[in-house]
Chain A
């Protein structure tokens, strides 16, 4: 692998579906400038896309609140961390519980491929709607080879991160 440059990309975007393409483009340009291969760039474009899609779908952008999503990609010491932050309703415990249980469920598998296959079977068997399948998070773990985590701060900002180790 060529020498990788440590750097950070941080962008604030509107909660608009059309912004997701721009996020993917900016992620590509940034990771290319750091010296990563096409395979890693494709994987992290997908990770960025899926996390921002979730932020647009489930964030709380009601009037008067915080109207933005923050997307960042941090390259440091053999790790690439993609983080997406968005406001959530304090009362939206269902969404946070679902996110927590999905991440714990994925971590329960030794190999994320097994989690992905299980999820595909579940989507097939339960006739789940695309949005409620949780396939995006499992895909981040499997195709994106990333470890997922999240927290909610005191200002009700949800931060979901995906960490890929490339060394």
Chain B
């Protein structure tokens, strides 16, 4: 297994590690840039391309804060995964009320077959 790749922009860090044939992306810090998509979207796009039909996990459990502009690139990647029939799971910390409110609402994008899943832990 190769070393995790770490991407940082201002207060946000996304650590990408291989998990078998798939990938886990751990988000830490704060996503508070004016246009967070400029940093986030290329990373997510590249990982989804590399993953192909293998699962990708976006783990937000240790994220401290995100502004509303961060939600748009996340929705975009869920849309893309759905269209391309790729597997993606969103993990968040249920005990944090802001995370529970923010991420549980994304269940509108989940699919019955588990291809897109949103899970509070």
Which A residues lie at the B interface, using CB under 8 A?
A: 17, 20-21, 24, 39, 42-43, 45-46, 49-50, 53, 57, 113, 116-117, 120-121, 123-124, 127-131, 133, 135-136, 139, 142-143
Contacts and interface: CB of A to CB of B under 8 A. Distances in A.
Nearest to B79: A124
Interface of B: 11, 30, 32-37, 65, 67-69, 71-73, 75-76, 78-79, 96-98, 101-102, 105-106, 108-109
A115 B14 CA distance: 30
A49 B32 contact: yes
B69 A131 contact: yes
A49 B69 CA distance: 12
Contact of B98 (A42, A124, A127, A128): A42
A116 B108 CA distance: 11
B102 A130 contact: no
Nearest to A42: B98
Nearest to A24: B65
Which secondary structure characterizes the binding site on chain B? helix
Given A123-B75, A124-B79, 18 more contacts: A21-B30, A39-B98, A43-B98, A46-B65, A49-B67, A50-B68, A53-B67, A116-B105, A120-B71, A120-B105, A123-B71, A124-B75, A124-B76, A128-B72, A130-B35, A130-B36, A130-B72, A136-B69
Contacts, number: 74
A31 B97 CA distance: 17
A57 B106 CA distance: 26
A27 to B, nearest CB: 12
Contacts of A142: 101, 105
A143 B99 CA distance: 9
A132 to B, nearest CB: 10
A69 to B, nearest CB: 15
A20 B10 CA distance: 13
A124 B109 contact: yes
Contacts of B102: 139, 143
Contacts of B33: 17
Nearest to A20: B32
A39 B72 contact: no
B51 to A, nearest CB: 21
Of A20, A129, A139, most B-chain CB atoms within 10 Å:
A139
